[in-house]
Amino acid sequence: MFFASDNWAGAHPAIAARLSGAAGGFSAAYGDGDLDKAVCDRFGEIFEHEVAVFFVATGTAANALSLASYGKPGGISFCHTQAHVMEDECGAVEYLSGGGRLHGIGGALGRIDPGELERALDRFVPEFVHAGRPTAVSITQSTEIGTVYSLDEIAAISALAKRHSLPLHLDGARFANALVALETTPAEMTWKRGVDIVSFGGTKNGCWCAEAIVVFDPGRARELAFLRKRAGQLFSKSRFVAAQFDAYFRDDLWLENARHSNSMAASLAAAIEAAPGLRLGWQPQANEVFAVITDDRAEKLQAAGAAFYDWPLPAGSTETLGENEKLYRFVTSFATTAEDIDRFASLVG
Ligand SMILES: Cc1ncc(COP(=O)(O)O)c(C=O)c1O
Ligand SMILES: C[C@@H](O)[C@H](N)C(=O)O
């Protein structure tokens, strides 16, 4: 019963097999191989748009390089106050953008509040050097607390960014989970709603180690090519990332994995709601479940083998924690089974 993170899950067997299958023979290196090109073309088909694609090793690299590619001296990227780029990337954005800053915007349940974003952006007077200057807006989809922006919410944030001539970045470490939750298409959830650049995550959804930056304006690609190399993120044997995405997209495995992961989260949430003395922090929309549990019961669950950990209450939460209660985060994955959920339910019942 490992609910600590989908980063704990292994690789899907089909992806592992494809990776091994790509091991033999020779292929041009550094992204110039036939498989690299075929997979990049596949990204274009999936997004229904001409794209430039850059494989990188981690979601942090994808986020930091995406925002750095729009960086300028005094640049500021706007993100949610509890965004991963703000709280869990060790200053990667600031470092790779040569000193760019992050400005946190509030909003309930992990989603940027458009009114707060508008007020923050309106405070910046062009060319007033002392304050620096906005360079990008970044949203996380699905968010760090398992919620999802609706298509209209993405469009509203994008409209604000565009009013200030800013690009919109989407941290899609869990892109597939959000996509199937909204039952929409990659095009509808990105460029058709004004998203300019995507950190496209595969690692948490069945890949060994496969992340990609997807750029809808190929004119910006040249900058990213140099930023990626300088960051040490250009794989020499990039065919092994391409092979993973080849299997990931084949027969819509990526969507099947995400649907399974989300459905396991819904089952886990139901088990929590049915359990005496436990309660959900909020309804999950993707593959992350947050629950309020007393310390003693959490300890018993962890002693029985359930891996999960406590999490700070999100901004805008109406939840109040009792003296011996904490909020805990549970993350499901393609590898979570119904037996895991049943075992958890039997322990909390
Ligand atoms: C929302 C979000 N974005 C980005 C990342 C970064 O991914 P990585 O840990 O591979 O750098 C994570 C990590 O799990 C994440 O949860
Ligand atoms: C750092 C931690 O939050 C990681 N991104 C996870 O989702 O497990």
CATH code for the domain in which residue 275 is found: 3.90.1150.10
User: Residue 7 domain-assigned?
Assistant: no
Instruction: Say how far residue 68 (Cα) sits from the centre of its chain.
Output: 17
Say whether both 184 and 264 belong to one domain: no
Say whether both 123 and 231 belong to one domain: yes
Pair of tokens at residue 238: 């990039």
Say whether both 211 and 193 belong to one domain: yes
What is the model's pLDDT at position 240? 98
Q: Would you call 200 helix, strand, or coil by DSSP?
A: strand
Query: How deeply is 93 buried, as exposed, middle or buried, from its count of CB atoms within 10 A (0-12, 13-18, 19+)?
Result: buried
For 11-28, the DSSP string reads --HHHHHHHHHTSSS---
Among all bound ligands, the one having the nearest atom to the CA of 211 is 1
- Round to whole Å and give the CA distance between 321 and 281: 10
Say whether both 264 and 147 belong to one domain: no
Q: Are 7 and 204 in contact (CB under 8 A)?
A: yes
Pocket of ligand 2 (CB under 6 A): 5, 7, 84, 88
Strand 168-172, strand 133-140: pairing: parallel
User: Residue 183 domain-assigned?
Assistant: yes
- Cis-peptide, bond into residue 165, ω within 30° of zero: no
Confidence of residue 171 (pLDDT cuts 50, 70, 90): very high
Residue 70, CA atoms < 13 Å, CB-side half-sphere = 25
Give the pLDDT confidence of 290-316 residue by residue, as tens digits: 999 999 999 999 999 999 999 999 987
Domain containing 268 equals: 254-348
Mean per-residue pLDDT, 319-341 = 96
Give the pLDDT confidence of 140-164 residue by residue, as tens digits: 999 999 999 999 999 999 999 999 9
- Predicted confidence (pLDDT) at residue 338 exceeds the cutoff of 90: yes
Q: How far apart are the first and last CA of the chain?
A: 16
What is the model's pLDDT at position 228? 98
Say whether both 215 and 277 belong to one domain: no
Give the pLDDT confidence of 247-264 residue by residue, as tens digits: 999 999 999 999 999 999
- Predicted confidence (pLDDT) at residue 221 exceeds the cutoff of 90: no
Q: Which atom of ligand 1 is nearest to the CA of 142?
A: 1
User: Residue 141 domain-assigned?
Assistant: yes
What is the model's pLDDT at position 319? 87
User: Residue 1 domain-assigned?
Assistant: no
Query: How deeply is 294 buried, as exposed, middle or buried, from its count of CB atoms within 10 A (0-12, 13-18, 19+)?
Result: middle
* CA nearest ligand 1 atom 7, residue: 59
User: Residue 3 domain-assigned?
Assistant: no
- Round to whole Å and give the CA distance between 189 and 179: 7
* CA nearest ligand 1 atom 5, residue: 59
User: Residue 50 domain-assigned?
Assistant: yes
What does pLDDT average to over the chain? 96
Say whether both 231 and 127 belong to one domain: yes
- Round to whole Å and give the CA distance between 144 and 173: 10
Among all bound ligands, the one having the nearest atom to the CA of 5 is 2
Mean per-residue pLDDT, 128-150 = 96
Last residue of a domain, one of 251, 278, 310: 251
Mean per-residue pLDDT, 176-202 = 98
Q: Would you call 32 helix, strand, or coil by DSSP?
A: coil
- Predicted confidence (pLDDT) at residue 109 exceeds the cutoff of 90: yes
User: Residue 2 domain-assigned?
Assistant: no
Taking alpha carbons only, the member of 193, 183, 311, 190 closest to residue 258 is 183
Q: Which atom of ligand 1 is nearest to the CA of 83?
A: 1
Say whether both 113 and 223 belong to one domain: yes
- Round to whole Å and give the CA distance between 330 and 266: 11
Last residue of a domain, one of 192, 227, 251: 251
CATH code for the domain in which residue 38 is found: 3.40.640.10
Say whether both 274 and 203 belong to one domain: no
User: Residue 38 domain-assigned?
Assistant: yes
Q: Would you call 308 helix, strand, or coil by DSSP?
A: coil
Q: Which atom of ligand 1 is nearest to the CA of 58?
A: 10
| pTM (whole model) above 0.90 | yes
- Residue 64 C-alpha to ligand 1 middle, in angstroms? 11
Give the pLDDT confidence of 239-251 residue by residue, as tens digits: 999 999 999 999 9
Number of domains in the chain: 2
Last residue of a domain, one of 251, 273, 291: 251
Pocket test for ligand 2, best of 8, 85, 88 (most atoms within 8 A of CB): 88
Looking at the chain, the whole-number percentage of residues with pLDDT higher than 70 is: 100
Say whether both 204 and 288 belong to one domain: no
Mean per-residue pLDDT, 124-135 = 91
- Cis-peptide, bond into residue 142, ω within 30° of zero: yes
What is the model's pLDDT at position 187? 98
Say whether both 32 and 106 belong to one domain: yes
Give the pLDDT confidence of 57-95 residue by residue, as tens digits: 999 999 999 999 999 999 999 999 999 999 999 999 999
Say whether both 234 and 98 belong to one domain: yes
Q: Are 16 and 208 in contact (CB under 8 A)?
A: yes
Say whether both 192 and 273 belong to one domain: no
What is the model's pLDDT at position 13? 98
- Predicted confidence (pLDDT) at residue 17 exceeds the cutoff of 80: yes
- Residue 5 C-alpha to ligand 2 middle, in angstroms? 7
Pair of tokens at residue 163: 């009013």
